[in-house]
Amino acid sequence: MTFIDSFWWSNDGLRLHYRDYAGATDKPVIVCLPGLTRNARDFDALATRLAGRWRVLAVEFRGRGESAYAKDAMTYVPLTYVQDVEALLTELAVQRVILLGTSLGGIVSMILASMDRERIAGVILNDIGPDIEPRGLERIRGYVGRTGPWPTWLHAARWLSENNASTYPNYDLSDWLVMAKRAFRLTSTGRIVADYDKKISEPFRLAGGEAGQDLWPVLTGMGSVPTLVLHGELSDVLSEATAQAMVAKLPNARYTNVSGVGHAPALDEPAALAAIDAFLPDLA
């Protein structure tokens, strides 16, 4: 095991979980923030690859993984996640961070970077931007809180393959099993279920619930913070036009197209890894 399971407390009293991968103490800390229904397990391969050279924190938002579920479903919104991450950084006395956010985690990253530019050494936005494509948004709204349970891991993997084949067209069954064990969990009754509170869907289904605000001013508010925009070639969430507009608006941004995948790159693709490897040394 290359990480330590650790916890912190939110401002409203929730015990929240993160994985702490030890690394250099003289560099910014990489903070990985997952997508809407995902958890810290999504970043394990990348964090393990970076550990030693970099300290990596893989966060689980409230209502996901080992983080506590919120009593009030209306706290499942980006601004609350921002406050939760700020509480973690304050508790750990982290002075400089690199934010790596996938989808929802990228929205949280943009907000954090626009609010606290002095602390943010860099941002990696994984297939997310200020404009979310309607087709992708409807697809996500269609399954959030409505999946499972499944009797076996094989059933769960097949469900993923049937519903996400266009996102990862080159995946085989072994890849879908790996994804299933990242996204789902085994209950005490022997059933496989999605590893999140189904109530996260409640604010998300409201108009504007995907972000809660106009994100273009948030993006430009990041100023000259070094930014890497990763775009899944087949993405139905981030369009090529939006990705290019983001790079045009940011004075210190790079763009990488990750071919052959949709929303969102798993961060094990050669193009994604090469882009991250090229981006990070300039932030040390």
Alpha-carbon torsion angle 195, 75, 136, 215, nearest 10? -140
Residue 97, H or E segment = strand 97-102
- How many alpha carbons fall within 13 Å on the CB side of residue 53? 10
Q: What is the C-alpha to C-alpha distance for residues 224 and 20, in angstroms, rounded to an integer?
A: 28
Q: What is the pLDDT along the chain (284 residues), one digit of tens a residue?
A: 699 999 999 999 999 999 999 999 999 999 999 999 999 999 999 999 999 999 999 999 999 999 999 999 999 999 999 999 999 999 999 999 999 999 999 999 999 999 999 999 999 999 999 999 999 998 998 888 888 999 999 999 999 999 999 999 999 999 999 999 999 999 999 999 999 999 999 987 776 555 557 899 999 999 999 999 999 999 999 999 999 999 999 999 999 999 999 999 999 999 999 999 999 999 99
Token pair for residue 12?
A: 């409203």
Distance separating alpha carbons of residues 264 and 282, to the nearest angstrom: 25
Domains of the chain: residue spans and CATH: 3-133+200-283 (3.40.50.1820), 146-195 (no CATH)
